[in-house]
Amino acid sequence: MRICRKCGCTDNRACHGGCFWIGLDLCSSCYQILLEKHKEDPTEEPPSISKELIYLLKTDGINSKQKAIEILQNLIIYEI
Ligand SMILES: [Zn+2]
Ligand SMILES: [Zn+2]
């Protein structure tokens, strides 16, 4: 079963308010937190997103990781 490495949520037990998978072991709630950290301190590694998600975004004509992250960010705002 997939488990988020940060908060421990699973397919059967999502975070409060709902979440979805951003990385193989990272959910959208935790992704948002990591992204904020990265914005405040650019030396912090930006959160990684899964290859499958990048692939999905690529099929929409998005081919840079930065662009993908921007889109995900907007997506998350609507999801939560
Ligand atoms: Zn999480
Ligand atoms: Zn979660």
Rounded to two decimals, what is the model's pTM?
0.62
9 part of a folded domain: no
Classified as helix, coil or strand, 22 is strand
Tokens at residue 44, please? 């912090």
4 part of a folded domain: no
Distance from the alpha carbon of residue 69 to the mean position of ligand 2, in angstroms: 18
Distance from the alpha carbon of residue 14 to the mean position of ligand 2, in angstroms: 5
26 part of a folded domain: yes
Q: H/E element holding 21?
A: strand 21-23
Least reliable range by pLDDT among 10-19, 27-36, 57-66: 57-66
Q: What is the mean pLDDT of residues 10-27?
A: 86
Tell me the residue range of the domain where 26 lies.
21-79
Rounded-to-integer distance, Cα 42 and Cα 38, Å: 5
Rounded-to-integer distance, Cα 12 and Cα 68, Å: 27
Give the total number of structural domains in the chain.
1
Q: Is the pLDDT of residue 4 over 70?
A: yes
63 part of a folded domain: yes
15 or 35, higher pLDDT: 15
Give per-residue pLDDT as tens, 33-77: 888 888 888 887 777 776 666 666 666 665 666 666 676 666 655
Q: What is the mean pLDDT of residues 22-26?
A: 83
64 part of a folded domain: yes
68 part of a folded domain: yes
Which residue, among 45, 54, 44, 43, has the nearest Cα to 21 in the 3D structure? 54
Instruction: Give me the residues near ligand 1 (ion), CB cutoff below 5 Å.
Output: 4, 6-7, 9, 27, 30
Distance from the alpha carbon of residue 10 to the mean position of ligand 2, in angstroms: 7
